[in-house]
Structure 1
Amino acid sequence: MRYPKTRTLAVVAATLLAAGCGADDAAAPSGAPASAGGSADPKVNVAYLSYAYTDYVQAEEEGLKEAVGAGGSVRVFNANFDAQKLLKDCQDAVSSGRYNAIVLAPVDPATGKPCVAAAAAKDIPVVTVETVVGDDPNALEPQVDGVVGAVAITPDRNAEPLLQLLQQACADVNPCKVIGEVAAPSDPLTARVVERVKEMPNVELVQTISTGYDPAAVAKAFPDALSANPDAHVFLSIADSQALAVVPALEAAGKTDQVKLIGNGGSRLGAKAVADGVLFGSAGNWPRQMGAKAGQMLQQAVRGETIEQPGVDALALAQPLTLTKETVGEFKPEWGAERSGG
């Protein structure tokens, strides 16, 4: 699940990470060698090369730190959704000699390849998180030499819980008119959901809005979409924060009871909104566990051990996956701010 610079934490991080500084700069080794020089238990010093630094990525970082232990280190590099900056950060990390492991969350599956190649040339193992690196965005097993593992959410897998929630929301309506959302028409993760919605027999996708994961953008676009489709039944969003950003428009139109809202990500804010009945549902994500799993893989790789399961479905790390008012009480959110008043 991806949350761009509109997140408050990401704005703070943009300042902290300026000029290539990592989010965990103080904890990173200062000129330390990449390995323990023949130690039976080499320390794992991780460069986490991320598309951005958000509260979701922060949770991954926390899990990663826990996995590598007090003897290791983690430094996050923030590319701020710039594929070229991510590649430069990768090249700098590889050439520095300070890191013997890389976690990579690329801007998209294709643009991660040059980074993996640079790491492979120095025998630095790479584990990808959130998305994969390679030509097939739905393949969890490593596709590129140098990638030793992936803890990812593939487009098809991401769509499954959202379609289940949509089916529930549309159970008593035929046709069920849906306003959909994508980050961008070319974004494989969110565009795949819309493609699958079109295949549902009782659902009519009346409009799709493109918002770049920006709550301000969806808040601006949604009133026009609602005006053009006054009989819409569901807004199928790409993130909890996006879904909640349209609540004022629904209130102004007097349609809070008519239009059901489906978010994604299982944030603390989203889980609270589901429990309160503001959101019809959301899909669970577990970024802290994702980071921990990536760290465990890198520990094995640095020690020369075999990684038995190199492709991990990040949506199978815990339960429940589909969050509704009936199931959200069993869910433990791992990221995001608490909702005001919660």
Structure 2
Amino acid sequence: MKRRSRLTTIGVTAAVAAAVAACSNPADGADSGSANATAAGADEELSIGFFGFAKANSFAQATWAGIQEVAAENNATATFIDSNFDGPTQVNQLQDAITSKAYDVVIVQANDGTAMVNPVRQAVAAGITVVVEFTPVGGDYSTAEPQVEGTITIIDPPTVNGEGLAKMALDACPTVTDGDCTVAYLQGFENYPLDAARTEAAVDALEAGGVTVISNLVGGYTADTGRAAMQNLLQAHPEVDVVIGSAQAIGGAAPLAEGKNITFVGNGASTQAYEAVQAGRWYGTYALPEKQEGAKAAELGLAAARGEDVPESTVACEELTDYDCLGTKETLAGKTADYSD
């Protein structure tokens, strides 16, 4: 059942001091002291700063492509600020941007959603329109609702992502009676808060589904790390039936399973993942159309900065797909991917 998006006006009030906002406790949830910028005119050129995961990451590049297209069509410029997957670097970059007043709109794809709470609060207090994209900013990874007052969110909650991966893996199992199916979940980054929440949700759902779960291997986000994890998995657990991992990791892992009765579930909407599912080499992939999400983030941010009412919260997989991101051969039939790994 679809959740209704609440409307918020990112409008015209005076900004509270950034120093006060910075003292707020991230655990308190929504900030009650945020404020918004004076709305820009329709003919005024605006600037977007995209604080993405990493320029070298194909997923972030898909987001960036969507942002650039919308910026070009809506009298705006866009800049990719590259943190290269480093949380503290990203925090410093956003704080520098606030000080320099470099951007009217910032789109935050947080490496560490908890660490970004205070700088995001400071950005809102400074009158910058803030769109939180993909990763929640706050301590709760199970919700798409804003956790910092005054922000706009377009998010697929990581726990929902994990549960979706588990659902496809359970469907892919030849049988789930008496733990007969063994599913390996290859983690992304071992100490990454988003990955920790997604992994826990996936493992809980798999165990509730009655399968045997292996979740102590890190597959990462490259073909090389996926291949290394698969080698270790096959040595320790040759009986594995289904393997879940990032689309990049599964791209490296799957060739090692040739001739074996192993099914794969990816996490990503790349060209390679779509082709693997459509050709029947993988059972499915969690297919969030990330370029569309980036475009939507830019669209919402620019509209809000110009004084329009926009949804406060958008659940990406509900709003941007008709298949809740569960990309099986059936649901991806006739569809094309947003990006390539």
Q: Structure 2-normalised TM-score? A: 0.80
Q: Contact conserved, 1:49 with 1:102, CA < 8 A, in 2?
A: yes
- For 2:186, the equivalent position in structure 1 comes to 181
1:107 to 111, 118, 125: 111
2:249 to 235, 242, 249: 242
Q: Contact conserved, 2:170 with 2:206, CA < 8 A, in 1?
A: no
Secondary structure of the corresponding residue to residue 298 of structure 1: helix
1:200 to 203, 209, 219: 209
Paired residue type of 1:216 = D
Structural mapping, 1:1-342, within 5 Å: 39-53=41-55, 54-68=57-71, 69=73, 71-147=75-151, 149-174=152-177, 175-186=180-191, 187-201=196-210, 203-237=211-245, 239-251=246-258, 254-255=259-260, 258-307=261-310, 309-316=311-318, 317-320=320-323, 321-337=325-341
Query: Which region of structure 1 is more displaced relative to structure 2, 160-169 or 122-131?
Result: 160-169
Contiguous gaps of at least 5 residues in structure 2: 1-36
User: How far apart in 1 are the matches of 2:40 and 2:326?
Assistant: 47
User: How far apart in 1 are the matches of 2:327 and 2:147?
Assistant: 32
The alpha-carbon deviation at position 193 of structure 1 amounts to 1.5
Q: Deviations over 1:168-209 (max 9, x none)?
A: 2115353211111112444223342223212212x1114531
Change in CA separation of 1:38 and 1:119 when aligned onto 2, cut-off 3 Å:
closer
Paired residue type of 1:226 = L
Q: Contact conserved, 2:40 with 2:305, CA < 8 A, in 1?
A: no
Q: Deviations over 1:137-163 (max 9, x none)?
A: 12212111342x111121222123322
How many residue pairs get matched? 295
User: How far apart in 1 are the matches of 2:295 and 2:98?
Assistant: 22
Secondary structure of the corresponding residue to residue 235 of structure 2: helix
Secondary structure of the corresponding residue to residue 261 of structure 1: strand
Change in CA separation of 1:184 and 1:269 when aligned onto 2, cut-off 3 Å:
same
Contiguous gaps of at least 5 residues in structure 1: 1-34, 338-342
Q: Deviations over 1:261-307 (max 9, x none)?
A: 11111211111111222212112111111112111211222122222
Q: Deviations over 1:37-93 (max 9, x none)?
A: 964543321011122122222221222223232521110101011112111211222
Change in CA separation of 1:39 and 1:286 when aligned onto 2, cut-off 3 Å:
same
Q: Deviations over 1:224-255 (max 9, x none)?
A: 22122222111122x2221121123223xx41
Paired residue type of 1:259 = I
User: How far apart in 2 are the matches of 1:112 and 1:226?
Assistant: 38
Change in CA separation of 1:240 and 1:232 when aligned onto 2, cut-off 3 Å:
same
Change in CA separation of 1:154 and 1:36 when aligned onto 2, cut-off 3 Å:
closer
Secondary structure of the corresponding residue to residue 333 of structure 2: helix
Q: Contact conserved, 2:185 with 2:243, CA < 8 A, in 1?
A: yes
Q: Contact conserved, 2:269 with 2:290, CA < 8 A, in 1?
A: no
Secondary structure of the corresponding residue to residue 309 of structure 2: coil
User: How far apart in 1 are the matches of 2:205 and 2:332?
Assistant: 25
The alpha-carbon deviation at position 259 of structure 1 amounts to 0.7
Paired residue type of 2:292 = Q
User: How far apart in 1 are the matches of 2:251 and 2:306?
Assistant: 45
Paired residue type of 1:200 = G
Paired residue type of 1:153 = D
Change in CA separation of 1:288 and 1:37 when aligned onto 2, cut-off 3 Å:
closer
Paired residue type of 1:241 = Q
Let me know the Cα RMSD of the aligned residues: 2.2
User: How far apart in 2 are the matches of 1:153 and 1:98?
Assistant: 28
Q: Contact conserved, 2:153 with 2:313, CA < 8 A, in 1?
A: yes
Identity in percent: 26
User: How far apart in 2 are the matches of 1:231 and 1:116?
Assistant: 46
Paired residue type of 2:291 = R
Q: Contact conserved, 2:285 with 2:328, CA < 8 A, in 1?
A: yes
User: How far apart in 1 are the matches of 2:315 and 2:40?
Assistant: 34
